[in-house]
Amino acid sequence: MKTKKPRVAIQGIKASFHEEAAFKFFGREIETIECTSFKQTCEVLENDDADFVIMAIENSIAGSLLPNYTLIRDYNFAVYGEVYLPIQLHLMALPGVKFDDIKFATSHPIAIRQCVDFFDDYPNIQVIESSDTAACAKKIRDEQLTDTVAIANTLAAELYGLNIIERRIESNKKNYTRFLILQKDKTEDSKKINKASICFQVGNHVGALSKVLNIFAELNVNLTKIQSMPVLGKRNEYYFYVDMEWKDMENYDTAIRKALKYTVNFNIMGEYEKNDKV
């Protein structure tokens, strides 16, 4: 019996970095569902028109994507896994176009910012912002633009039949993005669990947060990230999003039980296997 392909909702179109991350996590045998915004990816999952959402959550240069934390909490989705993707940016154009022919370069604003050093050397090239890296490559092919290059990944060049005329133009060669894989409900999975993403609030008094964090430290649960977000409309109240990993599951379980006593609105967003290979 043929297994059904997982339906994965992405922000952007085919050959975007989100699809590349989806391929890295699930393999190539997926059904990609293109969405125009992160909110739309959540709506698609909420309506059971997708099995998973893949969502960028942090970039090593641009930092955390704070609105996405809010989306995950608002929709109460479960974190199923994570994947890290190195962000490698190339200049691509129609076959036959030479570097001297280029008048315009187009890409997503974050991708453009990651290539400022390159374009400082070519002030004659006008840089134009767009909504999606892969969409820029597709537009060059569809409109047969001979004076324009896209800044995108190799996947986009392959899919839209473009030639890469300048490789690795990003300023920081160690740039990566971390993506979370989300599903509608938590599922019991046989996969190894050694990492979790949790969310909670603490009281507004001296030592409230450090008491919770010390519980994890005492039980050898390593906190790999902590992110605070204001509670909408509440002064001096914050949600704390924490990623943690451990070697001993029993220690983690004990730490969670103890932390519950000192927190409110405590939510285990997901327990999954650490997957931080870039």
Structure pTM? Answer: 0.92
**Cα–Cα distance for residue pair 18/55, rounded to 1 Å:** 7
Mean pLDDT along residues 43-66: 94
Q: Flag whether 189 is in a domain.
A: no
Token look-up 């969310």 returns 199
CB atoms under 10 Å from CB of 228, counted, come to 12
Q: Flag whether 61 is in a domain.
A: yes
Same-domain check for residues 140 and 179: no
* Average pLDDT of the chain, as a whole number: 94
**Cα–Cα distance for residue pair 83/98, rounded to 1 Å:** 36
Q: Flag whether 115 is in a domain.
A: yes
The count of structural domains within the chain is 3
pLDDT at 13: 95
Could you list the residue range(s) of the whole structural domain that residue 112 is in? 90-166
Least confident of 31-35, 97-101, 168-172, 205-209: 205-209
Tens of pLDDT along 216-239?
999 999 999 999 999 888 888 899
Tens of pLDDT along 99-145?
999 999 999 998 999 999 999 999 999 999 998 999 999 999 999 99
Same-domain check for residues 110 and 227: no
- Under the banding of pLDDT at 50, 70 and 90, the label for residue 61 is confident
Q: Flag whether 2 is in a domain.
A: no
pLDDT at 125: 97
Q: Flag whether 79 is in a domain.
A: yes
- Under the banding of pLDDT at 50, 70 and 90, the label for residue 4 is confident
pLDDT at 2: 54
Q: Residue type for 21, please?
A: A
Tokens coding 90: 């190339």
Q: Flag whether 18 is in a domain.
A: yes
Same-domain check for residues 12 and 83: yes
Q: Flag whether 190 is in a domain.
A: no
Same-domain check for residues 143 and 262: no
User: Does the pLDDT value for residue 63 go beyond 90?
Assistant: no
- What percent of the residues of the chain are helix, what percent strand, and what percent coil, each to the nearest 5? 30, 35, 35
Same-domain check for residues 71 and 179: yes
User: Does the pLDDT value for residue 50 go beyond 90?
Assistant: yes
Token look-up 């902590």 returns 226
Q: State the angle between helix axes of 208-218 and 249-260 in degrees (0 to 180), rounded to the nearest 10.
A: 160
Same-domain check for residues 80 and 141: no
